Chain A
Amino acid sequence: MSTDTTTPPAIETPWRRLDKRMLVVGPLNSLGRLLPVVALLLITGQGDVTRLWIALAAAVLVVAAGVLRWRTTRYRITADRVELHSGWLRRERRSVPRDRIRTVDLTVRLLHRAFGLSLVRVGTASGDSFADAGSLSLDAVSKAEADRLRRALLDRSPVAAGTAAEAAAPGQEIARLDWAWLRFAPLTFSSLAGVGALGAAVFNLFNELGLGPRDIGAVDAAADRLAGTPIWLGIAVLGSAVLATAVVGALVVFAERWFAYQLTREPDGTLRVRRGLLTRRSLSVSEQRLRGAEIVEPLLLRAGKGAQCRALSTGLSRDAQGGALQPPVPRGEAHRVASAALRAHPLEITQAPLRAHPPAARVRRLSRSVVPAVVLVAVAFGVGATVPAASWLGPASLLLVPLAALLGLDRYRNLGHELTGRYLVARQGSLQRRTVALQRSGVIGWTFRQSLFQRRSGLVSVEAITAAGEGGYTVLDVAAPDGVALADAAIPHLLTPFLALPTAHDHDHGSRVPPHGAHPTD
């Protein structure tokens, strides 16, 4: 434990340790993870003394590691930096300028909760090229300290914040959980994945056991009884059983994840999402660094008129729930939250009337979905011709073609973009429709991409590069001149020196700046 000699700050801020209770919780956590191994060791050992010793040694090591981790981890917040020192053999020193901090994520797992602790994860705006470098986490500090950190880290004022008055001031509520939203739970992807996983698991189980379903007495009897009835009935019974399990699973996941959900605007200029039943989470996003919002509508959810709003910001985790401002909700509610979060009229952001893309884009969407389907059909017929048992494959696969055509048409129908006063709005996708509203001032570059096929149809994909979210958002398949005009109008002057015809670029998009009069057709 050496003293810090590299950056002696003007006013020495004392170093802090993780909470003392981590001396108990840390080892408990690791022990929990070790438990299956130890149990296996002891059970298979059948009273073998050495195994007992190994288990004991492991436990001691785990406790020692926990103590060591607690002893070696120190952090402090100076006037302009957050510093974190950790590690013993491989010592790690992280130092992040405070003005780079974008998000603070507090996670309270069950064990942490029992001891009144909270994990703090700080998301920063460093380039994402070095994988994990973008975030800094403290596992774990007391709840009060976590709250203090949350307020202090995202406060814009340079003086350490968290005055008593501010701490007491309640946030302004934007949204809270409505249990009626539970109806959207089975329509999200996680439930679909659940169905898939469950089906695969059941299949595997039968395979592993070398069982045909008929080997089980009850099933055999039932099958005999069903033998007279059509096979479709059997499939229907099995299918509805699987479906019911998936639905229940989705409801449980939704309830665990979104229990006590609340979205607030805090007095310190952050948006805060609080949620969770067993694992409590609180995500704070600096409002000043919010670069836009995104409305996500997976196919099933869209069919049920549901949607979900996500924040576009740097420093958000990239998992499925990264930046989610709400659970799946009715579409209108999603747009309302986007509008409230960005303090912009819905017509200026995600509900802006969008321009349709040229007919060539329809041809391209259609060919991109139908051609692979046709190839699959050809393969299916080929297999059917060579393997007599699979001769049904070809005709059955014909069903793919109209499905692919529908998908292509829907993908075209969903294409759209518009430039409003402060936002670039773009929509695409069918299986997962996404409407992105990105602040024009948050765009830090452009990429125009054109494949051979796109060149032949005069289309181009325009990607707006940004530091937030995925790093780039694409306006798919616009007419080449329109794409350039769009980018040129979105950030004036940047593109102008590179335009091919400096005199004649008609500011098609620029003239449309007042959003309310804009029409989607053009």
Chain B
Amino acid sequence: MATATVPGQPPLRPPAHQVSPRAVRWWQLNALLTLLVLTVPQVVVLLALGPNAPSWLAITAGATAVVVAGYALVVPPLLYRIHRWEITDEAVYTLSGWLVREWRIAPISRVQTVDTEHGPLQQLFKLATVTVTTASARGPVKIRGLAADDAAELARTLTETTQATPGDAT
């Protein structure tokens, strides 16, 4: 873990833990599904129209495929390197984002609810997303791509800590 600051970045140390390495595969699968959703209709139209299909359609279909496939190859490993989280006795601290990085800090004393969520794809990779909600409309802190066991454990500790803290968290 680097303690020196990168010039231009806020002088915050990265949170302690990385997400599950399986998250890379999950993000890649997500990208592949996006690829299918975007290109299949274009290909279907191409096939249906046959020789009458406009020439630009083949180009856009190809371009879409290349861009999304490129994203699927390059970005998920990058996301894995960037995404980090940490829970201390006082705060939840996360770092996420690719083009726009986001450091979020929420004091434990202000946490209202803790939710764990397993989407169908996440279940495939035994992953989960933990959402920590505070009283604010802008508040929810999400930790995506956690190993399911870690997520359950995390939600349990967080819930315990939150319940031990009095007040209505506003």
User: Residues on A close to B: CB < 8 A?
Assistant: 97, 99-100, 125, 127-129, 289, 314, 444-452, 455-458, 460, 463, 465-467, 470-472, 480-481, 483-484, 487, 491, 493-495, 497-501, 505
Residue with the highest number of chain A CB atoms closer than 10 Å, among B9, B93, B110, B136: B136
Residues of B within 8 A of A498 (CB): 12-13, 15, 86, 91, 93, 105
Q: Please tell me which one of the listed residues A100, A289, A457, A497 contacts residue B88 in the complex, with CB atoms under 8 A apart.
A: A497
Residue B103, interface by CB 8 Å: yes
In the complex the two chains form, what is the Cα distance from A27 to B88 in whole Å?
A: 57
CA distance A267 to B145 in the complex (A): 52
Q: Are B101 and A455 touching (Cβ within 8 A)?
A: yes
Q: Chain B nearest CB: distance from A432 CB in Å?
A: 19
Q: In the bound complex, do residue A450 and residue B10 qualify as a contact, i.e. CB atoms below 8 Å apart?
A: yes
What are 24 of the A-B contact pairs (CB < 8 Å)? A127-B134, A127-B136, A127-B137, A127-B139, A128-B137, A129-B133, A444-B134, A444-B139, A444-B170, A445-B104, A447-B104, A447-B105, A450-B101, A451-B99, A455-B101, A457-B8, A467-B134, A467-B136, A471-B136, A472-B136, A480-B9, A500-B3, A500-B5, A501-B3
Closest to A465 in B: B136
* Given A100-B168, A455-B8; A465-B134 close (CB under 8 Å): yes
A481 touching B137, Cβ below 8 Å: no
B:146-170 near A, CB below 8 Å: 168-170
- From B10, B113, B141, give the contact of A483 (CB < 8 A): B10
Interface SS of chain A: mixed
Q: Are B100 and A449 in contact (CB under 8 A)?
A: yes
Task: Please indicate the chain B residues that have their CB under 8 angstroms from the CB of A505 in the complex.
Answer: 11
B107 near A447: Cβ-Cβ < 8 Å: no
In the complex, chain A residues whose CB is within 8 Å of the CB of B90:
493-494, 497
Complex CA–CA separation, A34 to B64 (angstroms): 51
Shortest CB-to-CB span from A95 to chain B, Å, is 15
Q: Is residue B135 within 8 Å, beta carbon to beta carbon, of the partner chain? A: yes
Residues of B within 8 A of A484 (CB): 10-12
A444 in contact with B10 given A450-B100, A465-B134 (CB within 8 Å): no
Task: Sort A-B residue pairs by CB-CB distance and give the 9 closest, nearest first.
Answer: A471-B137, A472-B138, A467-B135, A471-B138, A444-B110, A445-B106, A128-B137, A448-B103, A467-B170
Contact B107 A444 (CB under 8 A): yes
Is there an interface contact between A125 and B8, defined as CB atoms closer than 8 Å? Answer: no
Q: Which of A445, A449, A494 contacts B101 (CB 8 A)?
A: A449
CB of B105 within 8 A of CB of A495, answer yes
Docked pose: A464 CA to B8 CA in angstroms: 21
Contact, CB under 8 Å: A446 / B112: no
Query: Across the interface, which residues of B come within 8 angstroms of A451, CB to CB?
Result: 99-101
* CB of B44 closer than 8 Å to a CB of A: no
User: Given the complex of chains A and B, what is the CA–CA distance between A334 and B157 in angstroms?
Assistant: 47
Q: How far is the CB of B15 from chain A (nearest CB, A)?
A: 8
User: Are A448 and B10 in contact, CB atoms less than 8 angstroms apart?
Assistant: yes
> Least Cβ distance of B137 to chain A in Å?
3
B8: chain A residues at CB < 8 Å are 455-458, 480
